[in-house]
Chain A
Amino acid sequence: MVAASFCLAVTMFAGTFVSGTHAVDVYNAATQAGMGPPANYFALSPWWLNFFANKPAVLFDHQVLGTLTAVTVLVTATISLRGAFPPAIRDPALAIGGLVLLQYVLGVTALVSQLMDAGVAHQLNAVLLLASLVWLLHGLRNVAAR
């Protein structure tokens, strides 16, 4: 649960730089650029600047973090749905599971299509996912505090 929240926060933070640098421009279907680790990951110096300003690296970071987030959120949803919890907890658990899948599809769509509306939809769904996770955490707040 904490892992899922942390992953989502870091992924969304990384996502702001994908938007800010327009890193999706890197994608090229013919050369497969923008998929998988870039060859020149540490092109910029100092090294940490690559996380924020090197477009191929920024895009790759967001993809890896997004995948990690999808896995942790799905595990969280599964655990929450399998426990004997009231609907006040099962509802947001179902929501994060569904929204994270949709989010992954929207992310890939935004990358491959290069459409700005897909990017906006990806961003809006991220906020819904975040809100649902807050909803779930709120429902579990006495469990978490134990």
Chain B
Amino acid sequence: MPSETVFGVAGQSRAGAAGERNRRLVALWLFAVCFMIWVMVGIGGYTRDAGAGLSIMDWDPIIGTLPPLSDAAWNKLFLLYQTIPQYHLEHQGMDLAGFKTLFWPEYVHRLWGRLIGFVFFVPLVAFTVTGRIEKRLIPWLVLLFILGGLQGAIGWFMVASGFDPNSVAVQPARLSLHFCFAMFLLIAILWTALTVLRPQAAPVARAR
């Protein structure tokens, strides 16, 4: 197709070979983040469908990275779970093994969220220091990183609504907010990655 050659040349005309390599690297990194967000949607969907989202009653972005490591720690967490309405209304008499099946999906969901933040932040710093990212892009990416942190806070805002009296699940409106914000982040990061990869729009003429 003749327009394809035009497309390829247009993308490379300004930047040299090194610039081209840098752009590909940055785009690859952002695509990897998009893939991680997609996986996150799967973990989150599973957590929601399994009704496991209320199994961790606090939000410790740093300390919460580690799961319970001793029987005492497990029991403490389980006793805490026994104070919320979901336990009394749906899981009365559940044993520790049963509790663990609720704990792990929620824990993995939160851990994966931290990991996405890590995979976003470390290359952002590294690429900034080595000058691989266009300067005008840096404030935008820093903003996206902060909004990613906000998504974690929205997640906790959502989970907290599940502890209300007589509640066995989170408020649907907050679940919707958490999912829609994830989609906003995905679209923003994907669009950025595509634009880094192909800075100039394809000179497409509509055929008629």
Say whether A associates with B. Answer: yes
- Measured between alpha carbons, how far is A129 from B56 in the docked complex, in Å? 32
Q: A30-38, A67-75, A96-104, A134-142: which lies at the B interface?
A: A134-142
Chain A residues with CB under 8 A of B180: 12-13, 16
Known: A89-B204, A142-B202. A16 touches B38 (CB 8 A): no
Q: Which of the listed residues B1, B195, B201 has the most CB atoms from chain A within 10 Å of its own CB?
A: B201
8 Å CB contact of B201 from A120, A134, A141: A141
Return the contact of B42 from the options A83, A124, A141 (Cβ within 8 A).
A124
Residue of B1, B172, B203, B207 most packed against chain A (CB within 10 A): B172
Ordered by A's residue number, 9 sampled pairs between the chains whose C-beta atoms are within 8 Å are: A16-B179, A20-B176, A84-B207, A88-B202, A119-B45, A124-B45, A128-B38, A131-B186, A135-B190
A142/B183 in contact, CB under 8 A: no
Chain B neighbourhood of A131, CB < 8 A: 34, 38, 186, 190
Among A19, A139, A145, the residue within 8 A (CB) of B175 is A19
Complex Cα spacing A38 to B42, Å = 30
CB distance from A35 to the nearest CB of B (A): 21
Which A residues contact B (CB, under 8 angstroms)? 12-13, 16-17, 19-22, 52-53, 83-89, 116, 119-120, 123-124, 127-128, 130-131, 134-135, 138-143, 145
A21: chain B residues at CB < 8 Å are 172
Flag if A86 contacts B183 (CB, 8 Å).
Answer: no
Contact mask for chain B residues 88-123; partner A; CB cutoff 8 A; 1 contact, 0 none = 000000000000000000000000000000000000
In the complex, B147 has a CB within 8 A of chain A: no
A119 to B205, alpha carbons, bound, how many Å? Answer: 41
Most buried by B among A17, A20, A139, A141: A20
Interface residues of B in 20-45 (CB under 8 A from A): 34, 38, 41-42, 45
User: Is B140 positioned at the interface, with any CB of A under 8 Å from its CB?
Assistant: no
